[in-house]
A and B are shown apart, each in its own frame.
Chain A
Amino acid sequence: MWSRLVWLGLRAPLGGRQGFTSKADPQGSGRITAQVIEHLERLALVDFGSCEAVARLEKAIAFADRLRAVDTDGVEPMESVLEDRCLYLRSDNVVEGNCADELLQNSHRVVEEYFVAPPGNISLPKLDEQEPFPHS
């Protein structure tokens, strides 16, 4: 039961997202529809959490829109300032490792030499159709 309550609590912001879309925000582009919010939250696995956050995103987008004024015809995108150089590659020899214990120490849930993750084949939006799992 507890896990379901927690889960509903988690989903509450998403459920209330209709109220998040800013309508008459003069600085906003009005492009953050409920659909976009859901999409971004799923991609980022981070939630907006409030109307202010959506408004901030709209302002950020409006800010970024200023780039349209720049003429970039014929300009190649720049990925790195070191683009004219070759990245240094190490030779393919094993020189370190055997540090499983150290690495496992930082995880909260470990079984023998495995990091333990919850079931992975369950995507975020469909979850409320399923039976809640017992909280382990």
Chain B
Amino acid sequence: MLGRTLQEVSAALKQGQITPTELCQKCLSLIKKTKFLNAYITVSEEVALKQAEESEKRYKNGQSLGDLDGIPIAVKDNFSTSGIETTCASNMLKGYIPPYNATVVQKLLDQGALLMGKTNLDEFAMGSGSTDGIFGPVKNPWSYSKQYREKRKQNPHSKNEDSDWLITGGSSGGSAAAVSAFTCYAALGSDTGGSTRNPAAHCGLVGFKPSYGLVSRHGLIPLVNSMDVPGILTRCVDDAAIVLGALAGPDPKDSTTVHDPINKPFMLPSLADVSKLCIGIPKEYLIPELSSEVRSLWSKAADLFESEGAKVLEVSLPHTSYSIVCYHVLCTSEVASNMARFDGLQYGHRCDINVSTEAMYAATRREGFNDVVRGRILSGNFFLLKENYENYFVKAQKVRRLIANDFVNAFNSGVDVLLTPTTLSEAVPYLEFIKEDNRTRSAQDDIFTQAVNMAGLPAVSIPVALSNQGLPIGLQFIGRAFCDQQLLTVARWFEKQVQFPVIQLQELMDDCSAVLENEKSASVSLKQ
């Protein structure tokens, strides 16, 4: 039952094949078994069981709230959840309990979804590996999959093989691991530069980034106000559409949501005629760092569309090589501003110094933030200095317009959807990932995903195939602004063609005690 799609489970609940409480308990028990993945920061067991009870009553009375009623979901820990600790994986907010729900969380709860817990992330969503939070790194469930282990000819019963586990990607790695390991059916992530699509690609999931302005950001602890969006992680495109249907729409509490009438619900039509489609392949995305496997899958995907009669065009996004630099400047500048609210006075961590406000703020912020966050704040402040403002910040804003225009031009040339890789390669082992610092890694890993955030376009990462090592590789589709439904329709057609395999974690479930033993010894060396 846990391996089913959201749609299937929803039907099962409606037909009474399983009750919300049973479903909830199965998920909770699986969460306990997969604790070593470190996907969850907080497991809201009591809350979930209570919600399950209420959902059960509704089903008994034939009054289910919809497709999401009784469905276990997880939420990234940078969304505010009333009464449940929200930490952003940072000392600054450890112990912080918001007095309100983020709009997207409230919408899910209003639909009857069961909140299983808050998932792990990079501190304040800054990072591309989910390795830099205070609760430790998240492990990719594929590290323990039969597909991966067989390729490595590893004995799954060996006790000292846990040192080469793989990262999930980031920064919504906890959400991705939670969905990938079947502990919930959908999870909320956030996407500022690829933070939903990157872990989706590494964990073999559908990672959807809506158009900027489609989904409310109220309650999402902000990183970059002009680029953040809540993201959706699911195991298939139909599930993502169901969740999007619940979340999309204007919110009076977020004035950057658009009030145009939107096609609701997001029931995806079948793609009637592939031959009417025009797929664009941005040539500047073919870079030397791209792994040959990803490149070959990208090429095969293009061929697939062509063989079905679609037009496949090469397009040019000329400012692509500057996109990551532009993102870096704008991101750090907005971060410098957004992080200024953490001063210890009204919420969050507060140091013991009481000599002066500034001294207290400085010490609080030094104790509360890790190196990555501090580094970005300082960089951002540098770019915002009076003498640098024009040359860096305003310059980057101008380059942002050029990049957004590149996309507009590409779509105006008749292209419906762009097809690009999501990541440079499959997931890498943690020990290799940490050899470079956070900024370098982010610059490398966000390369295909951040331009989309700068242009505010919708994008989705679809898992395509397993690499030679047995690990997932995903490809990204980018759509026109507010054409999310069309984008998902194309993605769903593609998903049906590629038939990505299900992760085989059975040995993991049977053997969880052995792995837990591993974890105890491994965790001593991995703790920061």
Partner of A78, one of B359, B379, B391, B398: B398
The secondary structure that dominates the B interface is helix
Partner of B383, one of A64, A99, A102, A103: A64
1/0 per residue, CB under 8 A from B, across A13-49: the answer is 0000000000000000000000010011101111111
B310-361, CB < 8 A from A? 319, 322, 325-326, 328-329, 332, 336, 343-348, 350, 352-361
Known contacts A60-B439, A64-B329, A106 near B346 by CB under 8 Å: yes
Partner of B212, one of A79, A81, A90: A81
1/0 per residue, CB under 8 A from A, across B452-490: the answer is 001110000000000000000000000001000000000
**How far is the CB of A128 from the nearest CB of chain B, in Å?**
11
Binds A, one of B43-51, B105-113, B116-124, B248-256: B248-256
- Interface status of A69 (Cβ within 8 A of chain B): yes
**How far is the CB of A102 from the nearest CB of chain B, in Å?**
4
> Does the CB pair A123–B358 fall under 8 Å?
yes
- Interface status of A119 (Cβ within 8 A of chain B): yes
1/0 per residue, CB under 8 A from B, across A47-79: the answer is 111000100110111011011111010011111
Known contacts A40-B382, A72-B402, A81-B481, A107 near B345 by CB under 8 Å: yes
Q: Which residues of A contact B439 (CB under 8 A)?
A: 56, 59-60
> Does the CB pair A88–B255 fall under 8 Å?
yes
B340-398, CB < 8 A from A? 343-348, 350, 352-363, 365-366, 369, 371, 374-375, 377-379, 381-383, 385, 391-392, 394-398
- Interface status of B443 (Cβ within 8 A of chain A): yes
> Does the CB pair B359–A127 fall under 8 Å?
yes
> Does the CB pair A105–B99 fall under 8 Å?
yes
Partner of A40, one of B319, B381, B395: B381
**How far is the CB of B8 from the nearest CB of chain A, in Å?**
36
> Does the CB pair A124–B397 fall under 8 Å?
no
> Does the CB pair A77–B374 fall under 8 Å?
no
Known contacts A61-B382, A80-B226, A7 near B353 by CB under 8 Å: yes
> Does the CB pair A109–B250 fall under 8 Å?
no
Q: Which residues of B contact A39 (CB under 8 A)?
A: 385
Q: Which residues of B contact A70 (CB under 8 A)?
A: 319, 322, 395, 398-399, 402
> Does the CB pair B382–A115 fall under 8 Å?
no
- Interface status of B20 (Cβ within 8 A of chain A): no
Closest to B336 in A: A44
> Does the CB pair B212–A82 fall under 8 Å?
yes
> Does the CB pair B394–A133 fall under 8 Å?
no
How many chain A residues sit at the interface, stated as a range, is 35 or more
Q: Bound state CA distance, A41 and B147, in angstroms? A: 49
> Does the CB pair A135–B358 fall under 8 Å?
no
Known contacts A10-B362, A63-B443, A88-B259, A136 near B354 by CB under 8 Å: yes
Known contacts A43-B381, A79-B226, A106-B97, A67 near B392 by CB under 8 Å: yes
Q: Which residues of B contact A53 (CB under 8 A)?
A: 371, 374-375, 378
> Does the CB pair B345–A49 fall under 8 Å?
no
Partner of A120, one of B350, B356, B392: B356
B246-269, CB < 8 A from A? 250, 252, 255-259
- Interface status of B71 (Cβ within 8 A of chain A): no
Known contacts A44-B336, A88-B255, A67 near B378 by CB under 8 Å: no
- Interface status of B400 (Cβ within 8 A of chain A): yes
> Does the CB pair B325–A118 fall under 8 Å?
no
Q: Bound state CA distance, A61 and B333, in angstroms? A: 12
**How far is the CB of B483 from the nearest CB of chain A, in Å?**
14
> Does the CB pair A60–B401 fall under 8 Å?
no
Q: Which residues of B contact A109 (CB under 8 A)?
A: 350
- Interface status of B404 (Cβ within 8 A of chain A): yes
Closest to A109 in B: B350
- Interface status of B305 (Cβ within 8 A of chain A): no
> Does the CB pair B356–A115 fall under 8 Å?
no
Q: Bound state CA distance, A40 and B378, in angstroms? A: 7
Q: Bound state CA distance, A47 and B356, in angstroms? A: 17
> Does the CB pair A72–B399 fall under 8 Å?
yes
Q: Bound state CA distance, A136 and B255, in angstroms? A: 43
Q: Which residues of A contact B456 (CB under 8 A)?
A: 81-82
Partner of B402, one of A49, A63, A75, A90: A75
Partner of B345, one of A43, A59, A80, A115: A115
Q: Which residues of A contact B455 (CB under 8 A)?
A: 81
Which of B326, B359, B401, B443 neighbours the largest number of chain A CB atoms within 10 Å of its CB?
Answer: B359
Q: Which residues of A contact B365 (CB under 8 A)?
A: 45-46
Partner of B356, one of A43, A68, A79, A118: A118
> Does the CB pair A46–B378 fall under 8 Å?
yes
1/0 per residue, CB under 8 A from A, across B283-324: the answer is 000000000000000000000000000000000000100100
> Does the CB pair A133–B371 fall under 8 Å?
no
Q: Which residues of A contact B379 (CB under 8 A)?
A: 57, 60-61
- Interface status of B96 (Cβ within 8 A of chain A): yes
Q: Which residues of A contact B400 (CB under 8 A)?
A: 77-78
> Does the CB pair A46–B355 fall under 8 Å?
no
> Does the CB pair B329–A67 fall under 8 Å?
yes
Q: Name 15 extra pairs, CB < 8 A, besides A43-B381, A56-B439, A122-B356.
A: A53-B375, A56-B375, A63-B443, A64-B329, A67-B396, A70-B395, A78-B400, A78-B404, A90-B252, A106-B97, A118-B357, A119-B357, A120-B356, A122-B359, A135-B352
A-B contact pairs, 16 of them (CB 8 A): A10-B353, A45-B343, A45-B358, A45-B361, A56-B375, A57-B379, A70-B398, A72-B398, A78-B398, A78-B401, A85-B258, A102-B99, A115-B346, A122-B355, A124-B356, A135-B352
The 5 nearest A-B residue pairs measured at CB: A81-B456, A77-B397, A122-B356, A78-B401, A72-B398
Residues in B lying within 8 Å of A, measured CB to CB: 96-97, 99, 212-213, 226, 250, 252, 255-259, 319, 322, 325-326, 328-329, 332, 336, 343-348, 350, 352-363, 365-366, 369, 371, 374-375, 377-379, 381-383, 385, 391-392, 394-402, 404, 437, 439, 443, 454-456, 481
